[in-house]
Amino acid sequence: MPSRTGFPATERALYSQLRRLLSQPGLLRGNLVEMRRHCGKAGCGCQTDVARRHRSLYLALSLDGQRRMLYIPTAWEARVRQWTARYGEVRAVLEQLARQHLKRLEQRER
């Protein structure tokens, strides 16, 4: 296997981007789902007005073949959004690297 300096510049840049993403804390697979529900209070405006229903945020993911919904407190929303976005970025960089390696394999290069 050649050293990293033997890789093309685009591939080195992808590895650098991947290292930068993985050096930051938090990486989470899943999608954020916003739900709007009404509470059980008879006098609450959410009972009659759909726009006034109470908002709650959940992380939807699949673990061991089971679909799960995990409640996300409002205070954690920004953090969890960053973690799920970072996971998507890591996945995109890995896909680009895999495509470059596949191309190399097809051309029978090192």
pLDDT value for 94: 95
Cα angle at 54 between 53 and 55, to 5 degrees? 115
pTM of the model: 0.77
* Percentage of the residues of the chain whose pLDDT score is greater than 90: 62
What is the identity of the amino acid at 110? R
CB 59 within 8 A of CB 39: no
Residues with Cβ within 8 Å of 12's Cβ and at least 6 positions away in sequence, in order, are 4, 5
User: pLDDT tens-digit profile of 18-51?
Assistant: 999 999 999 999 999 999 888 888 888 888 877 7
Domain count, the chain: 1
Domain range for 54 is: 4-106
